Structure 1
């Protein structure tokens, strides 16, 4: 339920004033924790690349939390209560080009930078160097240099845009609190993706056995969870891509205002970046993916090759099933197939039939689906059960 505008405005003013007070104190006494620049995987083309990041003054939270439940709960709160650094100066270098950016009140920065001729033409991923110029903490910090990455596809056949929650990993993300319970209380190595997802996504990305096609992931989760998703993809051999998350806050464009508009905006920017590239959309029936993808198909005629929608609750929600069916019929009339699939293999077979993946890769998806077994999704242990009561 959206927060009424007057209340949201009042909370936003309070939030901003507290940020101003915190910054004033910091300007007087400085920082006594290490300051790190956290770059998020960017993307772009020959006419420009985009990179987002954040500057934080806190201890890094280990994505792999171990088996200690108290430690997991403590990490959950540390991740939720970050100490962002506003008005920090960050120098971003890409090839021979350099720009300097300033962080927002919540420590975020966005940078658009033009590539130069020094890039390796056949590589999909390219390094970006970042240096914290100011502020500098009072503690002994070994380095102020950090490294990010951006993907610039040179000869892609297709692009892939996928939801994360209940599309790659089962989260129960029909509510943000259930999503928080599943993701925050489980490390990347104690959760598993849906069977066959890693093999299928690798097949979609690869051309002649090499990573070639750009991958993009969208979620309604906050940016504080970025490291969890990034490490989860690494742990389960899901292709590296650009991940778009949400900035939770009290402003009108942030989480408390509700909605999934940020997904539409991010996906549209990707489509605009590659005007000559067709895309595959992958989502699920649990949230608003079918409606969102329908809107994007209408706004970008001829750009969407196929839409795969995972049915997270088959034969349970008849009303939602009927709605997804109607949307599929609408898109069919536009020349776009939207398939509602119960497992990864259904999508992989369709992709192979239409030339989006190779037959040999389909065989690998079949093998992966057979080999991978589902694990319990509910949290275990006293601490998890206690947290589940509040996050249910």
Structure 2
């Protein structure tokens, strides 16, 4: 057994003991449902089941801000009932070792914003799960990074990120100027898919949704990840998460072309270049926010983009997709408009 496997096994044993203890204390299964997506023949349902006090606010609510959203007890193996809004049962699925549901369910739904209901026996009932059902006529999807692309986070600097998430009020978080207007323009056609792809943890999903609403960013599916041991590694690779998710989206929606938006503080340009090579012709445009010198120092330790980011940009510019860069959403919108993308 490798060290990573031993850590994952130990974590599973600890979780099992915690679940038993909290159950004896009267805690019940609580559901956090995440905004997701689907087509007119299937939907992807994403959620997490956590054990919580039946009298406390649900996971991710405005009454559970900051550090409280990191103190959770996942409930592996929980049965989750998926129902239509009228209560008709669609399917029953089980959570994985982290308490997560990521289930593709064959289902015929009309295009548009839809809602399914999630329930867990002995716990939360009829929790709304928002689903964006993409039309068969859809031809474009926008995939956006979050940290330092739409939200100023200084994420790679641990103590600043910790202060932002654990202590500061949600309303103090700053949006990158012009991004909301750009995204609204890109998704003006209701058939356009909107996906927010980030290395951030699922614990932040509620706060992110409220931030998007407050600053005027369009609603979209969240594509986040989870930290901790996987059984083969001590920590999940954020870069692999982004790369694999892009390929998955391309394969799920073979008729879509993608507008990819990120920043040059870390690996976004290289990830987008690799995706463009892996799925030729599927990238319509790439827009990269250029961080300031101060932001670059925080993000990568140097006042200029890392070599991998510069190489990624050069590779993108050699391809067929429209490639633009700029310091904020207003500049990116102008350059995308000049290229005929907006």
TM interval, short-chain normalised: 0.7 to 0.9
TM-score by length of 2: 0.86
Residue 17 of structure 1 is matched in structure 2 by: 13
Q: 1:236 to 1:344 in 2, by over 3 A?
A: same
Structure 1 residues 1-392: aligned runs within 5 Å: 6-25=2-21, 29=24, 32-58=26-52, 59-60=56-57, 64=62, 75-94=65-84, 98-116=90-108, 119-121=109-111, 124-133=112-121, 136=122, 144-154=125-135, 155-207=137-189, 211-252=190-231, 256-314=235-293, 317=302, 320=305, 323-357=308-342
8 Å contact 1:167–1:282 — kept in the other structure?
A: yes
Partner of 1:276, secondary structure, is coil
- Name structure 1 gaps, 5 residues minimum: 66-71, 138-142, 358-392
Find the aligned partners of 1:52 and 1:353 in 2 and give their Cα distance.
Answer: 38
Q: Give the Å deviation of 1:25.
A: 4.0
Partner of 1:240, secondary structure, is coil
8 Å contact 2:60–2:205 — kept in the other structure?
A: no
Q: 1:115 to 1:257 in 2, by over 3 A?
A: closer
Partner of 1:113, secondary structure, is strand
- Name structure 2 gaps, 5 residues minimum: 297-301
- Which digits, 9 at most, give the CA deviation of each residue in 1:136-170, with x for residues without a partner? 16xxxxx6221111111223342100000000011
> How many pairs does the alignment contain?
329
Larger Rg belongs to? 1
Q: Give the Å deviation of 1:286.
A: 1.4
TM-score by length of 1: 0.76
Q: Give the Å deviation of 1:253.
A: 6.2
Q: Give the Å deviation of 1:43.
A: 0.9
- Which digits, 9 at most, give the CA deviation of each residue in 1:210-236, with x for residues without a partner? x33110001111111111101111111
Q: 1:318 to 1:132 in 2, by over 3 A?
A: closer
